[in-house]
């Protein structure tokens, strides 16, 4: 087959571009640690979320001196805990908080406004994210994935409480 040399040139150039694009994406994801939603937090049987030890009783649990695990279920159209009537997620200041979040119906979002926390919550998966809360503050939680008619109202709160207040009202310390 006889290929015109200009055509050959363009073929080589376009192949080189494709290789360049792929290597750029690979390089950036390796260097910056960009992550897709994956199984890092584990999988879960979406039909039996309420049977799962982690999520049968969604809660804030102290796991270290200044470390807390939050097991949260997102569902149309609340975060448990986080939204009313379940009450806000409450943790003391200067704590490390590991969120484990799953959905028992459709895809939701979990964003803590004013922080860089922003993850997708996918049925059958457990999204895991760790946050350091330094100062006492109140943050809003938003769902930012369209999940149905109540999507716009799906929200909640995280309350970061001062230590002295935490110790007297929550019995969190000694
Ligand atoms: Cu949940 Cu939008």
Percent of the chain with pLDDT over 70: 90
173 backbone dihedrals φ, ψ, rounded to 5°: -125, -165
Ligand 1 closest atom vs CA 121: 1
Identify the residue whose C-alpha is closest to ligand 1 atom 1: 108
Superfamily of domain 46-167: Cupredoxins -  blue copper proteins (2.60.40.420)
C-alpha–C-alpha distance, residues 70 and 97, integer Å: 7
The terminus-to-terminus CA distance of the chain in angstroms comes to 84
pLDDT of residue 173: 45
| Residue ranges with strand state E in the chain | 59-64, 67-75, 78-80, 89-92, 95-103, 108-112, 118-121, 127-133, 137-142, 155-161
Q: HEC string of 136-164?
A: CEEEEEECCCCCCCCHHHCEEEEEEECHH
Mean of pLDDT over the chain: 89
Ligand 1 closest atom vs CA 77: 1
Domain assignments of the chain as residue spans, ordered by start: 1-34, 46-167
Q: What's the pTM value of the predicted model, to 2 decimals?
A: 0.76
DSSP bridge pairs for 118:
111
Structure tokens at 5: 């040399």
Mean pLDDT, residues 3-10 taken together: 87
Residues enclosing ligand 1, CB less than 6 A?
77, 108, 143, 145-147, 151, 154
């Amino acid at each position: 087959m006889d290929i015109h040399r200009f055509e050959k040139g363009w073929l080589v150039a376009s192949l080189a571009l494709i290789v360049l694009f792929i290597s750029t994406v690979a390089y950036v994801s390796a260097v910056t640690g960009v992550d897709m939603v994956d199984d890092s937090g584990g999988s879960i049987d979406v039909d039996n979320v309420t049977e799962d030890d982690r999520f049968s009783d969604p809660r804030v649990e102290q796991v270290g001196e200044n470390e807390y695990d939050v097991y949260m279920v997102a569902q149309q159209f609340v975060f448990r805990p986080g939204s009313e009537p379940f009450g806000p997620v409450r943790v003391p200041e200067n704590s490390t908080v590991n969120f484990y979040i799953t959905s028992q119906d459709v895809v939701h979002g979990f964003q803590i406004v004013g922080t860089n926390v922003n993850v997708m919550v996918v049925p059958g998966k457990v999204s895991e994210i760790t946050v350091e809360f330094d100062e006492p503050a109140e943050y809003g939680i938003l769902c930012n994935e369209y999940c149905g008619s109540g999507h716009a109202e799906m929200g909640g709160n995280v309350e970061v409480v001062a230590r002295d207040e935490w110790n007297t009202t929550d019995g969190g310390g000694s």
